[in-house]
Amino acid sequence: MDKKRVERVYSNYAGIYDRLFGRVFRESREAAIRSLDIAPGERVLEVGVGTGLTLPLYPRHCEVVGIDLSRAMLDKARERVRRDGLGNVRLLHMDAADMAFGDDSFDRVVAAYVVTAVPDYAGLMREIVRVCRPQGRIVLLNHFVNGHRLVGAVERVISPLCEHIGFRTDLTVDRVLDGLPLSVDRHEKVKPLGMWHLVECVNRKDGTRRSD
């Protein structure tokens, strides 16, 4: 996958995304936001905010920044923000693998259904760790390779086909987290069908800031 293809695919989804995935993934989205336990005044970054389906779930006492590569998806998210009066939400067009935020900018980072939908998942994860403060919480909600050998083999085989519709199926949790200063505080399978994983991590970096 490359960025232009990803942006094109998800821009094409923008008009129908909520109808396709809104109800299907509602419970898993709610579980992800509940797990954050957001304190008043905290800053939350949602990476790959899409049409903003999760935005009404955040408590109003926090600041939420949502970013996405697709301008069409962001247009839908902005409609939702206006319709629901979400004054605590700010939306930005941005590449998640090259964020414009300073180091340690956020207390919580949420990446829902995005890790397997970007061209450079490793770059994405490094940026998430960078912009999240030390001891901050990072929540990944995503499809990862099934632990069953046969199912996992099928997922790896079909991954090149799935890339044409905007995601891959060959990533494991261990591969995504490899080499990062993250400790997994919670890992469970969630609906629909237990095929998606909710992974909550604590950022254990030492707080050293990037020099550029």
DSSP 82-122: HHHT-TTEEEEE--TTS--SPTT-EEEEEEES-GGGSS-HH
Q: Is residue 157 part of a domain?
A: yes
**Domain limits for position 83:** 3-203
Number of domains in the chain: 1
**What are φ and ψ of residue 112, in 5° steps?**
-105, 120
Indicate whether 75 pLDDT > 80: yes
The Cα 120–Cα 135 span in angstroms is: 24
Which tokens belong to 3? 């960025």
pLDDT of residue 151: 42
From 53, 50, 78, 47, select the one nearest 65 (Cα to Cα).
Answer: 47
Q: Is residue 53 part of a domain?
A: yes
Indicate whether 2 pLDDT > 80: no
Which parts of the chain fold into alpha helices (H)? 3-13, 17-21, 26-34, 71-84, 121-131, 149-163, 173-177
pLDDT of residue 32: 85
Indicate whether 68 pLDDT > 90: yes
pTM: 0.81
CATH number at residue 157: 3.40.50.150
Greater confidence, 186 or 3? 186
Antiparallel, parallel or unpaired: β 196-203 and 132-143:
antiparallel
Q: Summarize pLDDT for 4-20 with one digit per residue, the tens.
A: 666 666 566 666 666 76
Q: Is residue 45 part of a domain?
A: yes
pLDDT of residue 160: 47
From 71, 78, 24, select the one nearest 55 (Cα to Cα).
Answer: 78
Q: Is residue 179 part of a domain?
A: yes
pLDDT of residue 119: 81
Q: Is residue 209 part of a domain?
A: no
H or E segment and range at residue 207: none
Q: Is residue 64 part of a domain?
A: yes
Q: Summarize pLDDT for 108-167 with one digit per residue, the tens.
A: 999 988 888 888 889 999 999 999 999 999 999 887 776 545 444 444 443 443 444 445
For the chain, how far is it from start to end, CA to CA, in angstroms?
Answer: 28
pLDDT of residue 142: 84
Q: Is residue 211 part of a domain?
A: no
Q: Is residue 212 part of a domain?
A: no
CA dihedral 18, 57, 195, 136 (to 10 degrees): 130
* Amino acid identity for residue 96 in this structure: A
